[in-house]
Chains A and B, each alone.
Chain A
Amino acid sequence: MSGWAIFGQAVLAVVGGGIVGLVFRGLDRKIAARMQARIGPPLRQPFLDLGKLLVKETVIPKTAVAWVFSAMPFLAVLASFTALLYLPLGPFRPILEGYGDAIVVLYLLAVPALAMALGGFASGSPLGVVGAQRELVMLMSYEFPLAVVLVAVAWRLSAQGIAPAFSLGTIAQNPLWPWVGPLGVIGLVVLLVTMLVVTPAELAKIPFDIPEAETEIAGGLMVEYSGTYLALFYLADVVRTLVMAGLVVAIFIPYGIAGVLGLSGAAAAAVDFLFWLFKLFVVMVVAVTTVRVGMARLKVDQVARGFWLWGTAASLAGLLLLALDKVVMG
């Protein structure tokens, strides 16, 4: 593919990703509201919020380290959108396929969290500092299970003799479910559950919204951000939700329905793309919306202990089961 074609697709994906992300955030808020017996905001509310933030004054506190403080929102939003370009978009291969693989996505997912932590430290507010410390602890605890999930799946693929195993495009084209035996299925389910638990942590949503924790540290690392910068973080968060859901879909449920419906060509691509969006929506509702309305916020030490102990154990168990399955199945 030529550079210009990739650029064009990337622009399309970024604009589309932003819009879809905001619509999904609207749906998320609406569904959460209905679960709480409220009416909730109209679907367009995230767009209004973003627009309002963009026209508001951006304040940089006197105590802040100004250049770090202002650079971090851009870093977060860039990393989030870049991660989107490494994702298989339903029937389409990842736009930046061949320029990096699943490990890059892992790093790109960690960058916004790091950016937020640095921004919190640089904000000069004690609440921001507390939030940033929490964010770092969280990052250290949930990244390992996430990495193990990816490695386990990629390793099983490469054991099957498929290359490049670490490309998300390849992973999405070759779902593991049909090849593995019963042990492998159990392993994959364990990995899927781990991934679904990591998702709200990655997105800092209740019960893992510890770095922001509105009632405890008043928004934590976001406390000093306002105007455009806050809008950028908001956008990064919205896109990250898409990316995480997309990751779950790409690894575990990459199936389309065009084949079942007997479609082909452009119609098939369109139907599969819509179906992919629907899958993202389902993953979001299950892993983010339902969880965040159904639980209380945990404490950072509880989360760290939980992920180090249970997260690690579960992901390693999944890996082990996949390995055993390979041995059994030959």
Chain B
Amino acid sequence: MKEKRAQDPNDPVLPAVEERELVYGGLEAGLGEVFEVPIGPIHPALKEPIRLTFKVRGERIVGVQVRTGFAHRGIEFMGMRQGRNLIQILYLSERICGICSISHPIAFTQAVERAAGIEVPPRAQYIRVIISELERIHSHLLWAGVAAHELGFDTLLHLTWRVREKVLDILEELTGNRINYAIPIFGGVRRDITPDQYPKVREALRYYRGLLNELLDAFLRDPTVEARTRGVGILEPKEAEELCAVGPTARASGLRKDVRQDRPYLAYPDFEVKAITPEDYGLTPMGDVYDKIVVRLLEVGQSIEIIEKALDNMPDGEITSFPKIPALLAHLKKAEGEGLGWHEAPRGEVIHYVRLVSGEESPLVWKVKAPTYSNLMSWYPMFEDQEVADIPIIAACIDPCICCMDRVYLVRDGKEEILTKEELLRLSWEKTRRMAR
């Protein structure tokens, strides 16, 4: 995608209007005929723009075509060539995703810190872990509410979103805002968790610990929820592995795959995080939507445990190795090198790659891989042979974040283009050569 722009930065890149008129059957399309049902880019079941075109026979899905690119914002481009310095880009990275609004900054700061050789004090690492686990609680509760809404169970939506207020309040208390916490900075964090805030956090954790059973009960023992989610949208472990699914999507299929466990970072080695699968709830993983609910709700419990442990063992000391912003900016400008940062966001693994060059304020390359990008392909096996009624919940079960993922859109001569694998490989070789220069 960026290749096109690299060739000619002045070329206006506008999404091509799809000039295809779908012929819909009205009265003509009787029962049993295959016809197309377009879902999106605007649809009540989708919170973000994406186009899913289903081929449907009666209520059965016989084919699906996913088209992305409606929400391409060019954030990486803005970070690379628009004269922003790294501190400004940090807040840009925070806005890649509104829900995992600490996951991207954590991955980004790690990447930059590795590239620039900056140490993070242990206390700052702990604070980052606490905030990101609080975010996981809020994100999973949000997802649970959305899932309930897709099933038409609005009471559960209201219930989960009401209890989610508590964790948002705590985040607001600790960071100053309910979302877009703006807490990490290169070399540490911006705000300390003061001792008088500990009891408030602990109280919120107690609240959620007590509530978790009620939520598990409301979701997993409700006959209508079970009827709608058991055996729906199955992702076999083999498929999950082949399609590189990440996060709860993969874990619900029984893969013990979690960046916090496989490649611990920040303070995570201290907590010995184990990836959660439905087996931990005494179920055989089927990879269906029900299992995804199980995994996410259990992860809320896991996050509570991690935060409690972190609060108990919080090391003393500095919260940042660069208390003065001018010194930080000077260090970042001098830095040269490349770095990779990763984080287990609530939706799965986030990876940021940054390459810094000495004397430049903005990075030469900034590459983001959001979890939905990996999970999108798992839609294909999940939708196979399901019913129209299952579309919203299957679409929602990977917890898609379309805007985080939409960063590639190829337009050539005003027309949208689809690249083959070979072309993509060729482009990536060319890019590597350019960078090596």
Contact = CB atoms under 8 A, between A and B. Distances in A.
A197 to B, nearest CB: 13
A129 B35 contact: yes
B151 interface: yes
Contact of A215 (B25, B149, B155, B222): B149
A38 B153 CA distance: 15
Given A63-B26, A127-B37, A215-B44, A293 B391 contact: no
B173 interface: no
B417 interface: no
Contact of B391 (A38, A206, A216): A216
A126 B224 contact: no
B59 A296 contact: no
B36 interface: yes
Given A133-B58, A296-B152, A296-B224, A213 B389 contact: yes
A214 interface: yes
Interface residues of A, number: 39
A133 B388 CA distance: 12
Contacts of A299: 227-228, 387, 389-390
A38 B222 CA distance: 22
B227 A126 contact: no
B225 A296 contact: yes
B392 interface: yes
A126 B24 contact: yes
A130 B158 contact: no
B399 to A, nearest CB: 16
B141 to A, nearest CB: 15
Contacts of B144: none
Contact of B44 (A65, A133, A209, A218): A218
Given A216-B389, A300-B389, A293 B37 contact: no
Contacts of A301: 59, 387
Interface in B223-266: 224-225, 227-228
A123 B26 contact: yes
Contacts of B172: none
Contacts of A213: 152, 389
B436 interface: no
B: interface residue count bin: 35 or more
A127 B392 CA distance: 14
Nearest to B29: A129
A168 to B, nearest CB: 33
Contacts of B155: 35-36, 293-294
Interface in B143-174: 148-156, 158-159, 162
B156 to A, nearest CB: 8
A302 B345 CA distance: 36
Contacts of B29: 126, 129
Nearest to A121: B27
A36 B157 CA distance: 9
Contacts of A15: none
A215 B392 contact: yes
Interface string A43-64: 0000000000000000000011
A270 interface: no
A118 to B, nearest CB: 9
Nearest to B25: A129
B117 interface: no
A207 interface: yes
A218 B152 CA distance: 12
Contacts of A193: none
B152 to A, nearest CB: 3
A228 to B, nearest CB: 22
Contact of A65 (B27, B148, B224, B391): B27
Contact of A297 (B27, B162, B228): B228
B45 interface: yes
Contact of A298 (B27, B149, B158, B224): B224
A36 B154 contact: yes
State the 3 A-B residue pairs at the shortest beta-carbon distance, nearest first. A297-B152, A296-B153, A124-B26
Given A36-B159, A213-B152, 18 more contacts: A36-B155, A37-B162, A63-B24, A123-B26, A126-B29, A126-B35, A129-B25, A129-B29, A130-B37, A133-B31, A207-B224, A209-B152, A216-B388, A216-B391, A217-B388, A218-B43, A296-B224, A296-B225
